[in-house]
Amino acid sequence: MSKVDNEIRGRLALITGASGGIGSACARDLWANGASLALTYYNNRQPVDELAHELLKSPGSEGLRISCHKVDTGSAEDIERLFLEIKKQHGQDGPDILISNAGYGKRRTGILDVSLEEFDYMININLRASFILAKLSIPHMEAQKWGRIIFVSSIAAQGGGINACHYAASKAGLTGLMKNLAMKHAKLGITANDIAPAMIGETGMIPDAAFVEGTPGDVKNIPVGRLGTPQECANAVTMLCRTGYITGQSILLSGGLK
């Protein structure tokens, strides 16, 4: 039997959308577990700079590195440039851990409100980006026979949530992509999973409970009676990184919402 290796200390984690609620919580948690970080932002540089500054000052971070990169995940060229920057700043061809989290949501009531341009835009950012990121990450992971790929999907992948059909399609596509990668790359030490959150507060998407009052995601309808937290998403992400026996799974974080 091959040796079990769930060590994430000293690994490099690439987290897209680290300027947002869930991405920044994942960055903190993986850093606390000893990972170096490559963090991306798009419009909001300041939160990522502040996060990097804070983490680098924290005790126990000797020998760890953080790099920050501006990336539009809708652009293949931007993602390719990101990998060149990672090579330059971390000395490796790709990350050991990929957290493809950057995403975009649009609340619309029905398919008739979604234009073709809007559909393509959503798919590029939420689904195509994860395909490109995984494709660029896997050669390094295969070479070292160790890798963790985690997509941030959504309850919308199963038909729930408050977003429109193109968001649901993009997130369901992520789950299909993840399951295929999990089966194809398991023998090479690479696991692939997704987390499927619903109604996570302290994020740009759901700033607070008042934001969703009167919608299907109203806190009144959530069995545990509250929004989820970015830290709870990060807990699941770190657990998946540290548990190589889990692959091909979508972990629903929804407070009991179906």
The residue among 189 and 204 lying less far from ligand NAP, judged by its C-beta, is 204
Number of residues in contact with ligand NAP, rule: CB under 6 A? 30
**Cα(25)–Cα(200) distance, rounded to whole angstroms?**
12
* 167 belongs to the catalytic site: yes
Question: Residue from 14, 27, 41, 250 that binds ligand NAP (CB under 6 A)?
Answer: 41
> Which phi-psi region, left, alpha or beta, contains residue 120 (left: φ > 0; alpha: ψ -120 to 50)?
alpha
Q: Does 255 bind ligand NAP (CB under 6 A)?
A: no
- 96 contacts: CB under 8 Å, gap ≥ 6: 11, 12, 13, 140, 141, 144, 146, 147, 148
Residue type, position 28, single letter = R
Instruction: Find the part of the chain contacting ligand NAP (CB under 6 A) among 14-22, 31-39, 130-138, 183-191.
Output: 14-22
Q: Are 98 and 137 in contact (CB under 8 A)?
A: yes
The residue among 6 and 215 lying less far from ligand NAP, judged by its C-beta, is 215
Q: Does 72 bind ligand NAP (CB under 6 A)?
A: yes
Range 149-168, binding ligand NAP (CB under 6 A): 152, 154
The residue among 146 and 169 lying less far from ligand NAP, judged by its C-beta, is 169
How far the first Cα of the chain sits from its last, in Å, is: 39
Token pair listed for 73: 């995940």
Q: Does 125 bind ligand NAP (CB under 6 A)?
A: yes
**Cα(58)–Cα(215) distance, rounded to whole angstroms?**
40
Binding string, residues 167-196; x marks residues near ligand NAP by CB under 6 A: ------------------------------
| Angle subtended by helix axes 165-185 and 129-144, to nearest 10 | 20
CA 190 to chain centre: 16
Q: Does 118 bind ligand NAP (CB under 6 A)?
A: no
Instruction: Find the part of the chain contacting ligand NAP (CB under 6 A) among 27-35, 71-79, 112-120, 218-226.
Output: 71-79
Active site residues: 167
Instruction: Give the footprint of ligand NAP on this chain (CB under 6 A).
Output: 17, 19-23, 41-44, 71-74, 101-105, 125, 152, 154, 197-200, 203-206
